[in-house]
Structure 1
Amino acid sequence: MTQTAIPCTLMRGGTSRGPYFLASDLPESREGIAQVLLAAMGSPDARQIDGLGGATTLTSKVCIVSPAAKGEKQQVDYLFAQVSVDKPFVDFGPTCGNMLAGIGPFAIEKGLVPARDGETSVLIRAVNTGALIDAVVQTPGGKVTYEGDTAIAGVPGTAAPIVLNFADAVGGATGKLAPTGNMKDMIEGVEVTCLDVCMPVVIARAADLGKTARESAKELDADKDFMARIERIRRAASLAMGMGDAEGRVIPKFAMVAEPAGGSGIAARYFTPLACHEAMAVTGGICIATATMLPGTVADGMARIGPNERETVVLEHPSGQMEAVISTRRTGNENVEVLGGGTLRTARKLMSGEVFIPSRVWAGR
């Protein structure tokens, strides 16, 4: 035997793409899983020519799904893996809200969750952060449908809507809404807001960095001095947030914001972190949108939104727009409690079969 066959389903989730596996089809240890995923995705190699990876951060992602243990409130567990394109490294630290969109359909089609006629709600635990997410999947006649009229920026065409509602979103990585204890901090000479809502994000005003938050991802990536500067800020902020040195790690993330070019919401650019996201991450977008709702942040007063306790915030990103729905409870002008956030995504099944890896990496169970 020269190769090991592993069942997988290749899916687009939101604006990302990658293989979805059942945990029972992979090694039991994280180290074993990491070696299998590197081989399956073709890393490390800038083209990922020998695997399923698409040679970008957004197309080198993996989802691992398993049924929840008895007694747990969630129905399935979702472990996310960010596979480095050009380094032999797999990061199990963050989660991915875009790939999350495919978890519900995958779990239903694999028989982990029974489908209902019309819509099926799938309660998911993000293993990486501990967050609970309710995904509402379209299941007419008790079967998953991927066809529909919902369009999301960064993805051509339309598909069936998938609603993602994040519960217990606050403090998933650090245990605190504002990990530094402040709504604003001066770090590396730049005023930032450090929040932990679905994803820990360091947020700065674009103007303070000499930018507009209207630049394309390629423009920002090409500005090496700028990219080095925000990486210094991110690493210093990580220490201030109690998250340790972020070198070689993808969290916390970094974002910059500005007043919107359109009619409402906020302009934002989100970094992954060593490149600008070509669209907008779901979890990061929810965190940025939350910043617009909280008094005293760098985004306070910048977004064109109302004073409602449940507000839809439009985030302008390089590929278009994303909407995030933020729920809060106000007990005065300065006291705002974040209750949760959600968004609308789509997903599509691209291929179902087996991925082959060299048996020297793993011979299978």
Structure 2
Amino acid sequence: PVDALLLSALALLLPDDSGATPYPEHTLVDQAVAATRRRTPAASGFVNAILRRFVRERGTLLEAVRRDAVAAFNHPLWWIERVRQDWPTQWRDLLAANDRPPPMVLRVNARRGSAQQYVQRLAAQGRAAQVVGPQAVWLAVPCAVAQLPGFAEGDVSVQDVSAQRAAPLLLQRPLPHGARVLDACAAPGGKTAHLLELADLDLTALDVDAARLQRVQQTLQRLHLQARLVCADARQPGAWWDGRPFDAVLLDAPCSASGVVRRHPDVRWLRRAQDLSTLARTQAELLDALWPTVAEGGVLLYVTCSIFRAEGEQQIDAFLQRHRADGALLDAAAPGHLLPLPENGIDRSDPASVVGDGFFYALIRKPAS
């Protein structure tokens, strides 16, 4: 309680652009000390000393903060350096974007209606929205999913506009009815469901985490869809694969989540620099293990919600080098790195409303015999 009160008081002592504070300084300090004395009397002198020193030395302290990259950009230093290295002309914008609230984008179930029809249903509720993709609808004001018309019935799901690119990319060349498809790291099931909303597939949803696989099942049940659920490590096909090749494989690989920090602000502080090498090794192992399961003439779509090149462009470059003899081909249809910046917005006339999360997409084709 003392920490929270002290942080709140310090925040209220920060001047706005005009140099003013919301309350007179002496009043705020006195009230904070009085509140501390009521709850934790022994800490009142400490709180008083901290606040009064801050008032005295505020200019010097704030200038020191402005010179500190971690304080200025609100990210760990290693993260700042990595983004600056990967995106030398956009790194400041990328770091700033992580502290902005994300848009709420919906995916309309194509089996149960169109995006335009759903916008009209929202309008009938008094909710402003616009179509921003084939099944994508942007909500002007976010709301609880329970308030969305038809959510419980499976008419709509919540899925970022960048994430909604996965299923159409995998199905870019239409697959035959009942084609064998693998979603190799399926939980929580959004991309699995999107694939089944768009095509009639014999789909296997695989995940190493049994509890998270239950979320896939719940998602499919709500949307009235079916898939074969398998709990196993995708890196060990011998334990789960029957040897019959898949026409298409979706690998939404474990990653740093550096592209979705605005949705999960803690991730930047929970990750460590050494995690990147561990994750990159896992991604490479997944790619190498799953490539043999792809049928001749089939495709593998590699996806991460990361802006780090080590988990995107560099990972795929290394894979193509390793599998040059196999004839692995990179399809130009995949966009590569998508940054959570306005230039990646679907509607350029109103980019702030539809800026998608940071993602990486690579579509790899296996030559037909």
Superposition TM-score tier, normalisation by shorter sequence: under 0.3
Q: TM-score, normalised by structure 1?
A: 0.24
Q: Name the one with the larger helix percent.
A: 2
The higher relative CO (CA closer than 8 Å, separation ≥ 6) is in: 1
Q: TM-score, normalised by structure 2?
A: 0.24
Larger radius of gyration: 2
